[in-house]
Amino acid sequence: MWCDGAANVKLFMGDHFIIRGGYPLRGEIVIGGAKNSALKLLAAGLLTSEQLVLSNVPRIDDITTMIALLRYLGFNVADVSGDGSVLSVGGEITNTEAPYDIVSKMRASVLVLGPLLARYHKARVSLPGGCAIGTRPITLHLKGLEALGGNITLENGYICASTTRRLKGGNVVFPLVSVGATENVMMAATLAEGRTTIVNAACEPEIVDLANCLNKMGAKISGAGEKIIIIDGVEALHGTHHQIMSDRIECGTYACAAAITRGDLRLINGNIDHLGAVVRTLRECGIDVSQTDNVMHVQCQKTLRSTKIVTEPYPGFPTDMQAQFMALLSVVEGTSEITETVFENRFMHVPELIRLGAHIDVQGSLATVHGVRHLTGAPVRATDLRASFSLILAGLVARGETVLDNVYHLDRGYEAVERKLSACGAKIERVQKNKI
Ligand code: UD1
């Protein structure tokens, strides 16, 4: 081991990372398939008995959970490539219940509700329960499915949805923008009778990816990526092959890694078009970002400037990039402001960044970040997926050693983090629980 960290290691119960800061990242990182697209595309497989083959599937724990859920339903999931990157789903299910132990592990499990209701006319899906970043209700999913004719009741902690006949197209007007609700209703509407109009739909690129795949399966969806989506229901969908889009949040996260370490990274499969607000903010701070073919190039040699960020639904600045920018701005001279408008409790990483020497004040949804000259390594604990990476970013520039516990949060959504970072010069090592 290149560092011992023995005193800290004893404090940690699960897999953890030991990071030694101060090494600029240089080189290439291959960006994987988008988690938030892959999860919905796997659920979309339930809409047909034919094979849906998905390539560029990220090898992350949330995908393992979604596969477990589909198999629990009796659906067939085959690993075509042998390494998990190409999956084929299809067949018939043997039950329509998504149990609490799977749904509570991953909220995106609720995305099986729309497909099950549309194709099998019934579903029993556990309510997801609490979440670290906010209350995260799913009322909009349920109201949307009711507008298509679903009967929905809540019984013993479960959503019980049924319909005596085929769903019927309807008008769904969302009072606020929800990615998951848009996707659940869009999937269900593909098999409904007649036309469904979704007003105030989420516009995220993952929704466009899902709609593109559904259209290849025979659906008739127009307007995905815009505020109004129109779906003309068809009687049945068929199999297809679809390559999952690359993960814009993973790409943005490694862009922050290049920036915070004053490095130079070529992000293979990065797509600047999906990262408009993030790239604008990086440039405002003084970071060079360019795109050539499928490579996004991020370089940072200058003194950086502070900035103001407000998280918003796409095309606004993504809440999923907020924690990573907080780490970056904590070492940028001057005062930056970050307003979180999407989730009410998404500053859980702040006390941990403060443990590393950051100077951040939080008042309600506003975090004021007073840039410091340097951070100092310390034991810290991840609280959610993106918060985990913000602590890694801070650890990459902190003086000395940072030990990050609760790495399981990170494993839910980032593939091979230590391998990708080490290949570009970072000093980061995973210590496995059973090796302590
Ligand atoms: C998805 C993403 C997540 C991202 C989020 C916002 C996946 C698997 N996850 O989550 O990474 O951070 O979009 O970009 O794709 N809301 C309600 N009622 C509802 C549904 C949502 O009030 O019925 C609220 C939520 O509490 C939240 C806001 O709407 O405050 C946005 O949530 P939503 O867009 O639904 O997020 P998810 O789809 O859960």
Whether residue 315 has its Cβ less than 6 Å from ligand 1: no
**Do 7-28+247-435 and 36-243 share a fold?**
yes
Query: pLDDT at residue 290 above 90?
Result: yes
For the annotated catalytic residues, the residue numbers are: 131
pLDDT tens-digit readout, 151-204 = 999 999 999 999 999 999 999 999 999 999 999 999 999 999 999 999 999 999
Q: Report which protein residue has its CA nearest ligand 1's atom 3.
A: 320
Q: For 36-243, which CATH superfamily applies? A: Enolpyruvate transferase domain (3.65.10.10)
Query: Coil, strand or helix: which one is 424?
Result: coil
Considering only residues 8 and 230, tell me which one the structure prediction assigns the higher pLDDT: 230
Using a 6 Å cutoff on CB, does residue 316 contact ligand 1?
no
Residue 133 has pLDDT above 50, yes or no: yes
Nearest residue (by CA) to ligand 1, atom 19, is 138
Answer whether the bond into residue 205 is a cis peptide, omega within 30°: no
C-alpha pair distances (Å), 130 with each of 100, 136, 319: 12, 8, 19
Q: Give tens-digit pLDDT for 235-278.
A: 999 999 999 999 999 999 999 999 999 999 999 999 999 999 99
pLDDT at 398 over 50: yes
Give the number of the atom of ligand 1 that is nearest the alpha carbon of residue 140. 23
Cα-to-centroid distance, 341 and ligand 1 (Å): 12
| Domain edges within the chain | 7-28+247-435, 36-243
- Kindly report the protein residue whose alpha carbon is nearest to atom 15 of ligand 1: 36
φ/ψ of 119, rounded to 5, equals: -95, -35
Separation CA 292–CA 160 (nearest Å):
49
Residue 2 reports pLDDT greater than 50: no
Helix (H) or strand (E) holding 231: strand 228-232
Task: For helices 179-189 and 35-44, give the axis angle rounded to 10 degrees.
Answer: 30
Q: What is the dihedral of CA 314, 362, 284, 35, to 10 degrees?
A: -40
Tens of pLDDT, residue by residue over 97-119, are 999 999 999 999 999 999 999 99
Question: What is the 108 CA–ligand 1 centroid distance (Å)?
Answer: 10
pLDDT tens, position by position, 323-365: 999 999 999 999 999 999 999 889 999 999 999 999 999 999 9
- Residue 6, classed as helix, strand or coil, is helix
Q: Does residue 130 surpass a pLDDT of 80?
A: no
Question: Hey, how many other C-beta atoms are within 10 angstroms of the C-beta on 225?
Answer: 17
Give the whole-angstrom CA distance, residue 44 versus residue 112. Answer: 8
Full-model pTM? 0.95
Fold of 7-28+247-435: UDP-n-acetylglucosamine1-carboxyvinyl-transferase; Chain (3.65.10)
Ligand 1 in reach of 113 Cβ (< 6 A):
no
